[in-house]
Amino acid sequence: MKKIGVLAVRTHNYGSLLQTYALQKVLDNMGYQNEIILYKKTNYAKQALRLLNIPLLKQTLAKVEKKIITKTKHKELEPLFSGRTEAFDSFIKRYLRFSKVYVGRNELINGTKEYDGFVLGSDQVWNPMNYGADFFSMSFIPDSIRKIAYSPSFGVSEIPDYQKKKTAKFISRIDYLSVREVSGQKLIKELSGRDAKIVVDPTILLERKYWDAFRGEALIDEPYIMCYFLGSNPNHRIFAQNLQKLTNYKIVCLPHMDEIVESDFDFGDYVPPSVGPEQFVNLISNAAFVCTDSFHGTVFSILYHKTFFTFDRYKSTGGDSTNSRLNSILEICGLESRKRQSEEGVPADMLCEIDYSEVEKRISELRRESVDYLIEALTEE
């Protein structure tokens, strides 16, 4: 295979950009010419209909509300958000490689002739809220061109009934199927009867030596508790404050990530400015403790052998909850005990360093299997 088109997320989110960077880096290391496909949608009416999806509507409204509040009630947050935006934009420009922009569906379909195959990247590309764009489904790629799904996530453990038929249809066309979580494997089996291999997220697929070179020198020269919360649960912050009382370490945090969170205003001792993906990895890798409700916050805590505490981002444990991703990575690594209910307090026996010897064995084996899967998918005649 000479040239690969990569379908990947490039939103201003640490996990999204890091997994996209990692997948492209892995393909580079394997010797494949590759680029991330840029697609500009022109069917605006269809895109507007996506807002009928309740989770997507809530997410969109939260972003709008965040902008309004920042412009009116909390103007002091503008430098924080603009600094992050600049850091994200700089990262995308420096680290990611893109195709030309394909405008509209017809141009996108015609553009597939320029590639020998396509690899669908990770993150929640198969979350039901993304179906309206019909891009990550790989449905625009002809049957004659190889389609490889590498570690995509549904982000949920159940697909709405009205979307099951469409999901089964696009899954059936993909030549090589893999997912990053057990719940996704079960969904594919139930919907299509096919077996999907569980592989590691690209951030785990890329060996730690690359992250060591990527993260740079330590940004903070004293022990600290790194807090990265995407959800708004105030009890998570209280848990971290209780941990602080036990350790006397300062709290470093990245407040108001997805939304304006009331309990973030009086939380933490230090908010680093202009944190991009490199600084994100740096802050986790050098922390004494990590508290997070993020999948990739958990992943990098594991990669760097941190003493960490993971929490559900959402209260819901139903099929539409994205908590399943956290459960899966912890189960795979045998670290289920690090999942906490923030109301439980800080157990003294969980302050000790984690024995990562068995975890490393599991990760190394799964990484090897994941590399083998990708090699086979790219090279099999």
Most confident of 180-189, 278-287, 308-317: 278-287
- Tell me which of 325 and 353 has the higher pLDDT: 353
CA atoms of 69 and 64, how far apart (whole Å)? 9
Residue 45 has pLDDT above 70, yes or no: no
Q: What is the pTM of this model?
A: 0.92
- Hey, what are 272's tokens? 């680093």
- Burial label, 315 (beta-carbon count in 10 A; 0-12, 13-18, 19+): exposed
- Hey, what are 16's tokens? 């999204």
CA separation (Å) from 225 to 228, 290, 296, 312, 354? Answer: 10, 6, 17, 19, 16
Predicted local distance difference test score (pLDDT) of residue 321:
47
State the residue for tokens 């991009």. Answer: 276
The count of other CB atoms within 10 Å of the CB of residue 330 is: 17
pLDDT tens-digit profile of 314-328?
775 444 445 777 888
The angle at the Cα of 85, spanning 128 to 231, to the nearest 5 degrees, equals: 50
The angle at the Cα of 285, spanning 289 to 246, to the nearest 5 degrees, equals: 10
* CB-based contacts of 151, cutoff 8 Å, min separation 6: 121, 122, 178, 179, 180, 199, 200, 201, 202, 205, 370
Q: What is the mean pLDDT of residues 156-169?
A: 90
- Full set of structural domains in the chain with CATH: 3-205+364-379 (3.40.50), 216-360 (3.40.50)
